[in-house]
Amino acid sequence: MNLISKSLLSAALVACSFAVAPVAVAQPYGPDTCAEGFVWRDAAPGDHVCVKPIGRQRAAEENALAASRIDPAGAYGPNTCLNGFVWREAFGGDVVCVTPDRRDAIQNENRLGPSRRALAFGPDTCIDGYVWRDAAPGDHVCVTPNSRQRAANENTAALSRIDPAGAYGPNTCITGYVWREAFGGDVVCVTGARREAVRQENAMAAARRVLN
């Protein structure tokens, strides 16, 4: 077995991770589009952090109450908060006064914001009902969860389906099996029907992505 074949086989055998791509919706607002159940916070124009609807409502209420929560004679002039309030800091320069626990919640929203976008996994994000196949690292073809599990099972069973003494050396499949060919160099052995199913998955890959 040459070095390239070893690398490909090793990659296929270890590709059993299960980081499921998130459910996503259409992209009417480009890369800032929120996943289903989330909306832009809009604490100020351009604040596209994705939050739950209650988070957006609270931000609007805080903006409406802002003037009543400041002490113009304080150390920070018109940006001084009354006792018991602190700057919200939803973004740089956000000096709307809120309670400390609310500021902590805002910081958590900022941290979680990217994961709440419909394209949390970039242009490879799958539409609802599909996940990455992950037959090897970087295999982002969108398939059903059942097919993903089958690919993982095939990787686990790979060594039991080869005949090292065959025509293709350690890449030779035992009788009844063929190379899966999910991607170039994929020599994991599967049934003929499964290889055909994988080819169909590859052909349908683009249609199962959010940005299609």
Say if residue 173 is exposed, middle or buried (CB neighbours under 10 Å; 0-12, 13-18, 19+).
buried
User: Helix (H, G, I), strand (E, B), or coil: what is residue 78?
Assistant: helix
What does the block give as tokens for 130?
């599909």
Q: State pTM to two decimals.
A: 0.56
Domain ranges of the chain: 3-21+125-208, 34-116
Report DSSP state, residue 123: G
The secondary structure of residue 70, as a DSSP letter, is B
Q: How far is CA 142 from CA 51, 137, 156, in A?
A: 26, 14, 20
Per-residue pLDDT of the chain (212 residues; tens, 9 = 90+): 443 344 334 434 433 333 333 333 345 667 788 888 999 999 999 999 999 999 999 999 999 999 999 999 999 999 999 999 999 999 999 999 999 999 999 999 999 998 888 877 788 888 888 999 999 999 999 999 999 999 999 999 999 999 999 999 999 999 999 999 999 999 999 999 999 999 999 999 999 988 76
